[in-house]
Structure 1
Amino acid sequence: MPVAAGLLAPVPASAAETDGTSIIVTARGRAEALIAVPDTITAFDRQDIMARGLQTVDDIIAATPGVFIINDQDPGTNLISIRGVSTNRNQVPSIVYSVDGMALADPELFTLRAYDLASIEVLKGPQGALFGRSASGGVVNLTTVDAGPEAGGEARLGIGNGFTWTADAAVNAPLSSKVQLRLAGSFRDTDGFITNSFLGKKVDGFTSRNLRARLRAELSEASVLKLRLGWADEDGGAAYISSSNVTGLFGGRLAGKALANPVGDFEGRSSREWWGAQATLESELGNGMRLFWTAGLDDYSKDFVEELDFRNGPVTVFGTTFPQGLAPIAQPVGIRDYTSEARLISADDGRLRWLAGIFLQRLERDRTDDFGPLLFGAEAQRSETRSSQIGLFAQASYDLVPTVEATAALRYDRDDRKERSVGVNSGAVSVRREHVFEKVQPKLSLAWRPSANLTAYATGAIGFKAGGFNPAPFPPVDYQALFPSETTRSVEAGIKTALAGGRVRLSLAGFLTDYENFQNTVFFGNSIVFSVPRVDVHGLEVALDADLGAGFRLDGGAAWTESRIGRYLAPNPTPEEGEPAVLDLSGNRTPNAPDWTVNGALSWQGDLGAARINARISMAHVSRVDFEIDNILHSPGYTTVDTRLAATLGQWTFDIWAKNLFDRRWAISAFGQQQLPLLLSLEPGGPFDSFTINSGRQFGAGASLRF
């Protein structure tokens, strides 16, 4: 089982040891010691997940240097950056997000609540050879707790500020000696933390309801069938966006007085529902060879409504006055996908170790852009995207000598993509397009392991992200209706070591990545992707985990990533009189890619009377974040502190915790007037920039019972 055993299953010996080979990961399709894998991987076992309070993708990423996330607009819209490789709105993601061995088809699914997790692995750098067209930045791999043979479970109830209530539970219910069932659920309800000054109320409250059932059946001594069924339902506030002239008054620096509360007169709302099912077959075929097959489907729908002016009262845009403002604006999304993958895996103990497989995925995605009053009576359009993907892949590792391993992997991906724009009322098709995006993605690595506690390696890989379709071009800005695939070429060298009998684990890596056709999103009333010919990325990462003795442990990491645009001349999206029609953006930072991400923590575990105490204090630092390619709107660096104190007495655990203890404020996303003509022309009082502030300090307490 990857990294750690389930909540009630016995911990395997490898996970209980303290030497350098104790952490097990599945990054290369088989269980291996983390220290032996020639890639940069951050791994969390179940104990880590509980101690750190990792409950959302935001929590996971905040604990991982070199990775950054923006949750923007509504619960389903997100941008994730790994080593400067960033996703972009409404397009193919730049990372693979996998749950129980199945890659999710759309980033809308990435932010579904994570709960009852057994392990988390974050792989950095291009991983396309094994994971496919969306793995140009890396992979986030989650494993939920499997059903176990022993009856029992765990329940937790928590309360926090913002009148926040949480309830989580998981129960193992063996049906026979060969069939086990696990039921898990998670509930969260909060009034919110961000106040709309005009409406006089919190506007980021939400309710999240989640259920999961996992069934494990031993079909024979050599075969196991696993079934997973999940459901999620969420509703709450959305697009709680602030606006002011940050560019003119503060030079684009989103800090201090610039971080005003929202003042819009229309309350944004979002609701979404997801159903998912997965079947997995694991079979031993003899001589150590194994077959892994998984298939699943997702059915997802989201309703989303907002305003576009983020002001109160009448507004004027391009000389037209709107008495009720620019609202309501609706952008509902519907997703249905089918995914299947099969892998044939050789024995683990041979000099030659290999695997080969096939991946199939069908995605049906509909999104309506109903711009309300901005349509001036015209019909709203629905974009219907149909994507059929096939991937063929293989990997082989060979021990050249007992201490040197060479690995070669190769994958071919083909994405047959079709899209049409349809009137939501008439059904009339206004635009119809199709294109095939394909790529061969190799990966080579060489690893030297003079002992079980030391690995030095070098890796080279190519990854790609499929292109897509822009809305039909309109004057005065000229852009391509079809934007090409984004390609990354990366090399990495690193060292991993365990010292002091495994009490200290240290890893260091350096990397270089070249982009071709970096996909940059700009808003011209809708999402438009411009291809930046070249982006250069290089950086260093270090991670440390040290057992200090007497129950104390120190862990942390730092990542320096310099991601800069090469020679790039772009059309000026908001040309004013006297301004150039073309902007030179060469050398600018790429959006949503901070140069530095750092985190560290000191924890203590020990007995105090009859209680088992776990205490942890951690910090995280993010350097300057530029939200758009012109590098005007930006958030300066910020540092946050989190704490958790837990006491276990028999079957009970009581804890208190705080996130962002010192109540630091920053902007988590922004759209600038120099990139969005609507904001530049908005009156009265314009021009404006729009941005979303973070939720501030959160704290609470909880009680858990194991039974």
Structure 2
Amino acid sequence: MPELASKDLFKKSILSSVVVGALSSTPVYAQEGSGENELQDDKDVEVIMVQGTRRTTKLQDAPVSMTAFTELDIERSGIDRPADFIGLTPNVTLIETQNAGMAFITIRGISQNRDTQPSVAVIVDGVQQTDAGQFQQELFDIQQIEVLKGPQGGLYGRNAIGGAIVINTKDPTEYTQGKVRLGVDNGPGYRVQAGLSGPMGENWAYRISGSYYDTDGYIENTYLGENSDPLKDISFRGKALWYASENFEVDFRGYYSALETQPFNYRITFDVNEVLSPRTNNPGINDRDLYGGSIKMTYTDEEGGTWTSITAYDRSKELIAGDAYDFLPVEESFLYNLLLGFGLPEDAVYDQSQISNFGSKNWSQEIRYTSPDSERFKYIYGVYFVDTEQLQQNGARADFGLGFASPLDWISTDPSNPQLNFLSDLRNNFAWAVFANMSYEMSDDWVLDASLRYDRDERENVTQTPQAFIPNVPGFPVGTEGEVREKTFSEWQPKVTLTYKPVDAFTMYGGYSVGFRSGGFNQTGSDAVAGAAGIFGIKEFYEAETASTWELGGKFTLADNNIRGGFAVYSTTSENTPFFVFLQENSTQNIGTIDEAELNGFEFDITATPLPGLRVVAGFGYVDSEITEYGDPQAIGNQTPAVSKTTINLGAEYRQDLSDGLTSLIYRIDYQRLGETNFDIYETTTREPVSLVDARLTYDTENWSLSLWAKNLLDKQYNAEWSPGGFVYRARPRVFGLTYNYKFEM
């Protein structure tokens, strides 16, 4: 087997990923490939390292409210997709809805909507995602996940208004290692994941991994007599590290993901607590492709400082076609029965379908300098650029029960599927930022951290809609084909934190931060359509949102490190909070803004190991959101949309070693409670609290394991979303299965 020319250099390079792998809310077990399964000493439990603050820091020392998941957390709790780790995080919720790329994160009351920028910055292997549709992916070959709460604009810039999610995939290893994961569930669903890593010639190392998931789905379409949510996903990821010298290394990464499923499985009801099964007569099409890559170059100077350059390209494409309002078979639909009253023959087949086409591509570049960690005064400064092109097309077509026109052109000319309305916008965005942050150890007990970032987002919207389809509403301006609209959004984002650590077992921090989420354009003519329908607050563009937060928090360890936890109290003022409006008249998704809202709350979490092998966790989050300024007085005093007032997380894990000392049984149970959730600014419907239970039993050996698991064990029936207009989207019922893991090292 070829060996690296400089093993010391290689070991130094992978040391951070191995140490960071120790971060956990669980007891720390030996790392993959060590050949050990025993718990380490209690003192090692406290060696929990995180990188979300842009420097490697102990979790208990990091002056930010944060939840972190290691490779072992991910494996032991069965984290397969973003909803799984978010479901274990206090004060953070996720709404999964109409299509593969549509999922909304709400963190401390800062929510996300269709066609808005994300509510959190999502960073994968150092590259920030610029398209919200990239987030909802299969999670495989992951080293760690960190969820930072509260505005992180000073560190990560625009879209870090609610926090940041930092995901690091596994790095190449010094020796050849591999892992295979096989799974089956009650869909039936089948999952195959595999990874291989090792040296690749002189001064090179590699890692390749892939994932395949195929399921018939879990939610029945009672009209078609088949499941409404089948899904097929195939994804690949590759990495190559070149250790060019002791001071210089280059990291190449690439990925590809293709997904097929079905969209628009809505029902219409004005009671979010009424759970209804889908009854669309057309199963629909939802295809999504993601691919891209990055090159990261790192140079360490003679003083120990580090220059880092990250160049990245990302591309996403998603096509969605399915039933339209009111998502029922033709003979049951609102439109068909309405037309019967106007003389439509009873044997006619007439309804509507809808189609959406989304796409984005972007280039991004970040260059930063990081001073040595050994100094009392540490600093980072740099610049960031991203150039993005986005396409958004929406339209409605007649449905004569013959399916969709093929091919799915921009505008259908097929008489079996004629176009009724259509909007197309091309968006060109160029954003840049400059940033700097510093950390000064004023004494052994006191540390001052300060960050400042300026983001500027220059947005351009080109109307590609043919003139015949542009809405023409009397009393409102009429858009024109080829029209160019421009808008620039910018913001200074400071973050100042003072940390006090009088003893090793206790850390106290407090500070002020500002987050910023860029604004954008509604589709051409939507303001006129909304005005004609009497809907308040929809303009041709929506303003950028800012969130200013005061926070006080602490972290502690007790009982010889067998108990550790943290807490935070915060108060946020949000300006231009976005909310969603669907316009049935032109099948468009639009954004309005709330002038001002107040978000006040607190959270805490605690982890205890009262007995050898036993770990218990508890977390609680509370947020009180209130609309304080809005053009319509009826909404003032109401809650902001998509906010669960409370979240409760409880869990227990027990590891029972068997007689041979090399095998064990691991019992795990997790409980999540989502408090009352309001979904629109007028509080027309509120979802009752939802309680969910996951359970897992694992037989674990030196190099393989077998797990029997269930998600939503008690088969709670509830709606994941209620959208203004009465659209409800049913959540997944109970899913259970078996997973086999095998790992090897050469």
Output the TM-score relative to the length of structure 2: 0.86
In 2 relative to 1, CA 367–519 (structure 1 residues): closer, same or farther, beyond 3 Å? same
| Alpha-carbon separation, structure 2, partners of 1:216 and 1:499 | 41
Residue 482 (1) aligns with residue 556 (2): no
**How do residues 532-571 of structure 1 correspond to structure 2 at under 5 angstroms?**
532-570=594-632
* C-alpha contact 1:83 1:124 (8 A) present in aligned 2: yes
Residue 493 (1) aligns with residue 552 (2): yes
In 2 relative to 1, CA 383–7 (structure 1 residues): closer, same or farther, beyond 3 Å? farther
| Alpha-carbon separation, structure 1, partners of 2:353 and 2:55 | 50
Residue 195 (1) aligns with residue 212 (2): no
CA distances 1:39-82 after superposition (whole Å, capped 9, x unpaired): 10101111111111111111111111111111111010121110
Aligned residue number for residue 414 of structure 2: none
| Alpha-carbon separation, structure 2, partners of 1:607 and 1:319 | 67
Aligned residue number for residue 275 of structure 1: 291
**How do residues 563-582 of structure 1 correspond to structure 2 at under 5 angstroms?**
563-570=625-632
* C-alpha contact 1:16 1:22 (8 A) present in aligned 2: no
| Alpha-carbon separation, structure 2, partners of 1:290 and 1:16 | 34
Residue 266 (1) aligns with residue 308 (2): no
Shift of 1:501: 2.1
Give the residue type in structure 2 aligned to 1:595.
K
User: Of the candidates 379, 385, 391, which is equivalent to residue 433 of structure 2?
Assistant: 391
Q: Look up the SS of the partner of 1:36 in the other structure.
A: coil
Residue 586 (1) aligns with residue 645 (2): no
Residue 148 (1) aligns with residue 207 (2): no
User: Of the candidates 295, 301, 313, which is equivalent to residue 330 of structure 2?
Assistant: 313
Give the residue type in structure 1 aligned to 2:666.
N
**How do residues 411-490 of structure 1 correspond to structure 2 at under 5 angstroms?**
411-423=453-465, 429-471=481-523, 472=525, 473-474=527-528, 475-476=531-532, 477=534, 479-490=538-549
Shift of 1:436: 0.8
In 2 relative to 1, CA 16–124 (structure 1 residues): closer, same or farther, beyond 3 Å? farther
Aligned residue number for residue 516 of structure 1: 575
* C-alpha contact 2:122 2:129 (8 A) present in aligned 1: yes
Aligned residue number for residue 169 of structure 1: 194
Shift of 1:233: 0.7
Shift of 1:101: 0.8
| Alpha-carbon separation, structure 2, partners of 1:122 and 1:625 | 22
In 2 relative to 1, CA 131–706 (structure 1 residues): closer, same or farther, beyond 3 Å? same
| Alpha-carbon separation, structure 2, partners of 1:356 and 1:16 | 39
Q: Look up the SS of the partner of 1:49 in the other structure.
A: helix
Aligned residue number for residue 683 of structure 1: none
Shift of 1:482: 2.3
Residue 632 (1) aligns with residue 684 (2): yes
Aligned residue number for residue 121 of structure 1: 146
Aligned residue number for residue 733 of structure 2: 696
In 2 relative to 1, CA 316–442 (structure 1 residues): closer, same or farther, beyond 3 Å? same
Give the residue type in structure 2 aligned to 1:656.
L
| Alpha-carbon separation, structure 2, partners of 1:434 and 1:662 | 51
Count of residue pairs brought into register by the alignment? 670
In 2 relative to 1, CA 609–363 (structure 1 residues): closer, same or farther, beyond 3 Å? same
Give the residue type in structure 1 aligned to 2:593.
S
Q: Look up the SS of the partner of 2:43 in the other structure.
A: coil
| Alpha-carbon separation, structure 2, partners of 1:16 and 1:548 | 14
| Alpha-carbon separation, structure 2, partners of 1:694 and 1:112 | 17
Aligned residue number for residue 679 of structure 1: none
Aligned residue number for residue 686 of structure 1: none
| Alpha-carbon separation, structure 2, partners of 1:410 and 1:313 | 57
CA distances 1:87-134 after superposition (whole Å, capped 9, x unpaired): 121121121011001100111001122211000000001000110111
* C-alpha contact 2:228 2:278 (8 A) present in aligned 1: no
Aligned residue number for residue 527 of structure 1: 589
* C-alpha contact 1:239 1:269 (8 A) present in aligned 2: no
Shift of 1:669: 1.0
Give the residue type in structure 1 aligned to 2:458.
D
Aligned residue number for residue 317 of structure 2: 301
Shift of 1:155: 0.3
Q: Look up the SS of the partner of 2:643 in the other structure.
A: coil
Aligned residue number for residue 289 of structure 1: 305
CA distances 1:257-294 after superposition (whole Å, capped 9, x unpaired): x2121122121220111111111112211222112221
CA distances 1:308-338 after superposition (whole Å, capped 9, x unpaired): 1211125455965695454331101111111
* C-alpha contact 1:383 1:420 (8 A) present in aligned 2: yes
Residue 368 (1) aligns with residue 393 (2): yes
Give the residue type in structure 1 aligned to 2:288.
R
Aligned residue number for residue 358 of structure 2: 333
CA distances 1:457-484 after superposition (whole Å, capped 9, x unpaired): 1020011111111232214236321221
| Alpha-carbon separation, structure 2, partners of 1:692 and 1:228 | 36
* C-alpha contact 1:8 1:150 (8 A) present in aligned 2: no
RMSD of Structure 2 on Structure 1 (CA): 2.3
Shift of 1:347: 0.9
| Alpha-carbon separation, structure 1, partners of 2:170 and 2:732 | 30
Question: Mind listing any 5+ residue stretches in structure 1 that lack a counterpart?
Answer: 571-582, 677-688
In 2 relative to 1, CA 354–324 (structure 1 residues): closer, same or farther, beyond 3 Å? farther
Give the residue type in structure 2 aligned to 1:517.
N
Shift of 1:10: 6.5
Aligned residue number for residue 87 of structure 1: 112
User: Of the candidates 393, 396, 400, which is equivalent to residue 442 of structure 2?
Assistant: 400
In 2 relative to 1, CA 16–466 (structure 1 residues): closer, same or farther, beyond 3 Å? farther
Residue 604 (1) aligns with residue 654 (2): yes
Residue 4 (1) aligns with residue 21 (2): yes
Residue 502 (1) aligns with residue 549 (2): no
CA distances 1:148-171 after superposition (whole Å, capped 9, x unpaired): 111121101111111111111111
Residue 643 (1) aligns with residue 695 (2): yes
* C-alpha contact 2:395 2:419 (8 A) present in aligned 1: no
Residue 160 (1) aligns with residue 175 (2): no
* C-alpha contact 1:136 1:463 (8 A) present in aligned 2: yes
Residue 235 (1) aligns with residue 272 (2): no
* C-alpha contact 2:204 2:240 (8 A) present in aligned 1: yes
Give the residue type in structure 1 aligned to 2:490.
E
Does 66-75 or 19-28 show the bigger shift?
19-28
* C-alpha contact 2:206 2:241 (8 A) present in aligned 1: yes
Q: Identity across aligned pairs (percent)?
A: 26
Shift of 1:196: 1.1
User: Of the candidates 604, 611, 623, which is equivalent to residue 675 of structure 2?
Assistant: 623
| Alpha-carbon separation, structure 2, partners of 1:669 and 1:519 | 17
* C-alpha contact 1:21 1:453 (8 A) present in aligned 2: no
Q: Look up the SS of the partner of 1:298 in the other structure.
A: strand
Aligned residue number for residue 69 of structure 2: 44
Q: Look up the SS of the partner of 2:118 in the other structure.
A: coil
Does 467-476 or 393-402 show the bigger shift?
467-476
| Alpha-carbon separation, structure 2, partners of 1:381 and 1:280 | 39
Shift of 1:606: 3.1
| Alpha-carbon separation, structure 1, partners of 2:194 and 2:467 | 44
Aligned residue number for residue 103 of structure 2: 78
